[in-house]
Structure 1
Amino acid sequence: MSNPSTGRSDRLRQIVVISSATFAVIGAFVGSGAAGGIPINEASGGALAADATLIAPGGPAFAIWTPIYLGLVGYAVWQALPAQKADARQRRLGYPIALSLVLNAFWILSVQFDLLPLSVPVIVALLLVLVGFFRLLCRSPPRNLIEAILVDGTMGLYLGWVSVATAANIAAVLVTAGFTGFGLDPDLWGALVIALAGLVGVGLAVYGRGRWAPTVALVWGLAWVAVARLTGSALSTPTAVAAIVAVIVIVIVIVVVAVTIRARGRRGSNSTSGETQHEH
């Protein structure tokens, strides 16, 4: 017999996720400028524009928000179905996803209202939530392809992109505040920050045991940083080279990790099969 209080708790979780997704979509709509707001790349005096800092990705990079938002909306609808109401994995993941959606909307609002310094703690909090969420994902596999796409795939892209966006956001705030880099050359700073982002990508590839979504988004962002530094108004060959090298390294690591894990799985499967045949 089901517990009524547990059922109410599950329904509340589903409602919270749907509400937070709605809030995030409205925030994104405002942030796009479609509802009379200022587009993100023009808000806060253009601090987040593609040429504002050497860490900023080129404009087309932000197209990645389309599959992320579609995935998040799809998840909100899917998790509200009766089959997911009492699912143990969704019980663990529902509220962290809802929190990430609320933080995302607050980040957009902070930029829209010219509260750029506030955007840093908000996006850092968002990144920490997504990192914690990624750890939860790695502890339990999805049950089917739909869950793999809507949950693991969407949230992986989300994490990878926010990793790049956090670096760009912090750089924008520092430049706006007049930070001079302790006298170091801006090209050096750009290359160092990109190298750090590359290390994050390697870490995600290894810890995620070959999960592609986070590294795809991170590589996408770094690739557009390289394009912007080679073709935009804020040119920086060292930063572009660092971004290209980071992309290559991340791709190599994710391929090696994925192949290694698959090979181990096959060896384990063959070993089990051999033991079974020997017993017979």
Structure 2
Amino acid sequence: MTATVADPTTRATVGDRVRAGALLLVALLQIVAGGLGGSGAFGLSVGVVARENTTVVMPAPAAFSIWGVIYAGFLLLAVRQVLPGQPARPVHRATGWWLVASGVLNAGWILVFSAQAVVLAQVVIVALLVVLAVAMARLTAHPAADAADRLTLHGPVGLYAGWVSVATVVGAATTGTFLGAPGAGGVATVLGALVLLVTGAIAAAVVARGAGALPYAVSVVWALGAIVVMGPPLAVVVAALVALVAVVAVLARRILTAPPGRRVPAAFG
């Protein structure tokens, strides 16, 4: 028997079904909140608020289109978990409520940021990153059983966590500008470069050992590349490129050092 279905001796409980239903609900909630936040239907649009507090580590606006992929992957993940044989699986029990919390926090961040409560929004996104880190750690303890797990569980969570890892750093810079710190200049450039280097080191460590390594790395590289495209000061460009190369090199090493038949599983965990 594969691990994609629950052990037949383990029946789904009411709690399992409630959890799976809640996950599907927040997957839809995120999409609605994202539409409201992007259109400015609730306060200002997320993009407008970000541009009003621009920093040297701000990604190009087009980079935020990755949210559409993240939402689609999260919805696919949620739909699969309500299917027969899925709710009682140990991996879903270990990660499900953490993923529900991530959806609630993400929707909350969108609405709070759109209302220009930038400091509160930063607190929320840090909480979101912590929740996703726990979910990633628990997925690491439950290796993907097959391609379905890799594509509809480890993949979406890795992509989500990778983007939020960099978005938290960008949000911290945005919050500093909102509070009156310079968004550009010597101090901002030095701090921005240092933070990107630290972010790259942490991301490389996640890619080396964590679940969803490939999609996590794709998100991080996408975000770092989008920062470079914006044409920040040279120190920030160099730091972003160093971080980007580190993440790619660690991912390549993880894949290439795995046995030939295990390289795809090694990339997803």
| TM-score range relative to shorter protein | 0.7 to 0.9
Correspondence for 2:245 among 244, 248, 253: 248
Q: Which amino acid aligns with 2:213?
A: R
Query: Structure 1 residues 91 and 209, CA, compared in 2 at 3 Å: closer, same or farther?
Result: closer
- Whether contact under 8 Å (2:16, 2:87) holds in the other structure is yes
**Counterpart Cα distance in 2 of 1:179 and 1:140:** 43
Which consecutive segments of 4 or more residues in structure 1 shift more than 4 A? 1-4, 34-37, 263-266
Relative to structure 2, which stretch is displaced further, 171-180 or 123-132?
171-180
Within 5 Å, which residues of 2 pair with 1:168-187?
Answer: 168-180=170-182, 185-187=187-189
Residue 25 of structure 2 corresponds to 19
Query: Structure 1 residues 37 and 127, CA, compared in 2 at 3 Å: closer, same or farther?
Result: same
Sequence identity (%)? 31
Q: Which amino acid aligns with 1:240?
A: V
Residue 80 of structure 2 corresponds to 78
- Whether contact under 8 Å (2:225, 2:241) holds in the other structure is yes
Q: Please list the CA deviations of residues 116-153 of structure 1 after superposition, one character each: whole Å capped at 9, or x if unmatched.
A: 11011100000001111111111112222122111101
Q: Which amino acid aligns with 1:253?
A: V
DSSP 3-state at the match of 2:13: helix
- Whether contact under 8 Å (1:110, 1:119) holds in the other structure is yes
Pick the structure with greater CA Rg.
1
Gaps of 5+ in 2: 1-7, 264-269
Q: State the number of aligned residues.
A: 255
**Counterpart Cα distance in 1 of 2:25 and 2:259:** 39
Relative to structure 2, which stretch is displaced further, 143-152 or 116-125?
143-152
Query: Structure 1 residues 89 and 3, CA, compared in 2 at 3 Å: closer, same or farther?
Result: closer
Relative to structure 2, which stretch is displaced further, 252-261 or 188-197?
252-261
Residue 163 of structure 1 corresponds to 165
Q: Please list the CA deviations of residues 1-40 of structure 1 after superposition, one character each: whole Å capped at 9, or x if unmatched.
A: 9788x52111111111112212212111101107465321
The structural deviation recorded for 1:220 is: 0.8
Within 5 Å, which residues of 2 pair with 1:149-160?
Answer: 149-160=151-162
Gaps of 5+ in 1: 267-280
RMSD between aligned alpha carbons? 2.5
DSSP 3-state at the match of 2:257: helix
- Whether contact under 8 Å (2:43, 2:115) holds in the other structure is no
Establish whether residue 137 from structure 1 lines up as the match of residue 139 from structure 2: yes
The structural deviation recorded for 1:83 is: 2.1
Query: Structure 1 residues 209 and 129, CA, compared in 2 at 3 Å: closer, same or farther?
Result: closer
